[in-house]
């Protein structure tokens, strides 16, 4: 039986991909690194340092130099985060989550972002969730199952009782590796490995999810 819904944040509850893109682009321009929107798409659900490694594309740099670059990117990103408000919640996600809570399901956020709590605070929905796991919660980032398993443990439910909503390939892989039900949001070439796919956030239908799984 399904007891909990675990939500990814960026790309499922709100769309921060454009802000991540602009911040990485600024860093890449400063460093003379090749970057574009297509590469940015590969960074969905990928941790900050793993994202830099993708942009560096095999180029080796000392740890302290990489740390400075990710800090700089994060400073740019945090400036954009100040602009986020309740209006940035995607479609009717808030009412859908409230509906699930009223049906008795446990609700959590499990995001790779170290900024997740700040984003939720600006969206004014932190209190909706029974637990929030973020990029600081576990050592191994998605596609490792650790963040989702940690979340299930905090909720006091078994992995197989959890449904995960994800817009990233790495996130779908992490949910499957955790032995959870994976719901993909986005194109098949990105989230097609999920048990069930909706092409946009707007189309997510929780009744259909509960019927089909
Ligand atoms: C989310 C986003 C990724 C981002 C990651 C880390 O998963 O989809 O694009 O790289 O969080 O975000 P952070 O806020 O910790 O830099
Ligand atoms: Mg995401």
What is the ipTM metric for this complex?
0.98
Alpha carbon distance, N-terminus to C-terminus of the chain = 10
Does 134 sit in the ligand 1 pocket, CB within 6 Å? no
111 assigned ligand-binding residue: yes
Q: Which atom of ligand 1 is nearest to the CA of 8?
A: 7
Does 10 sit in the ligand 1 pocket, CB within 6 Å? yes
pLDDT at 211: 96
Q: At what angle do helices 17-31 and 63-81 cross, to 10 degrees?
A: 140
pLDDT at 11: 96
Residues of the chain with pLDDT under 50: none
pLDDT at 190: 96
**Is residue 146 annotated as part of the catalytic site, yes or no?**
no
Q: Model pTM greater than 0.80?
A: yes
pLDDT at 174: 98
Count of beta carbons in the 10 Å neighbourhood of residue 177: 17
Going by the DSSP 8-state scheme, the letter that residue 10 receives in this structure is B
Give the closest residue (by CA) to ligand 1 atom 12.
113
Between the CA of 44 and the centroid of ligand 2 the distance, in Å, is 6
Q: Which atom of ligand 1 is nearest to the CA of 116?
A: 14
CA dist., res. 134 & res. 93, Å (int) = 19
199 assigned ligand-binding residue: no
**Is residue 8 annotated as part of the catalytic site, yes or no?**
yes
Contact partners, residue 151, CB within 8 Å, separation at least 6: 6, 108, 110, 131, 133, 162
Exactly one of 8, 15, 88, 92 is catalytic; name it. Answer: 8
pLDDT at 165: 98
Between the CA of 147 and the centroid of ligand 1 the distance, in Å, is 14
CA dist., res. 122 & res. 182, Å (int) = 27
Residue of 66, 113, 140, 173 to test ligand 1 pocket, by largest number of atoms within 8 Å of CB: 113
CA dist., res. 85 & res. 211, Å (int) = 33
Burial level of 26, CB count in 10 A (0-12/13-18/19+)? middle
């Amino acid at each position: 039986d399904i007891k909990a819904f675990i939500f990814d944040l960026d790309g499922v509850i709100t769309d921060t991909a454009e802000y991540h893109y602009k911040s990485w682009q600024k860093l890449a321009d400063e460093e003379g690194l090749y970057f574009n929107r297509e590469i940015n798409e590969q960074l969905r659900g990928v941790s900050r340092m793993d994202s830099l490694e993708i942009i560096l594309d095999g180029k080796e740099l000392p740890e302290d130099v990489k740390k400075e670059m990710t800090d700089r990117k994060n400073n740019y990103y945090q400036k954009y985060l100040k602009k986020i408000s309740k209006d940035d919640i995607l479609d009717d996600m808030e009412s859908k989550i409230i509906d699930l809570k009223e049906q008795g399901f446990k609700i959590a956020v499990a995001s790779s972002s170290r900024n997740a709590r700040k984003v939720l605070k600006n969206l004014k929905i932190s209190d909706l969730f029974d637990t929030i796991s973020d990029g600081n919660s576990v050592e191994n980032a998605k596609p490792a199952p650790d963040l989702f398993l940690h979340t299930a443990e905090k909720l006091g439910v078994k992995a197989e009782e959890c449904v995960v909503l994800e817009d990233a390939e790495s996130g779908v892989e992490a949910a499957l590796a955790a032995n959870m039900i994976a719901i993909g949001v986005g194109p098949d070439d990105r989230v097609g490995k999920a048990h069930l796919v909706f092409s946009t956030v707007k189309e997510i239908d929780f009744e259909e999810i509960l019927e089909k799984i």
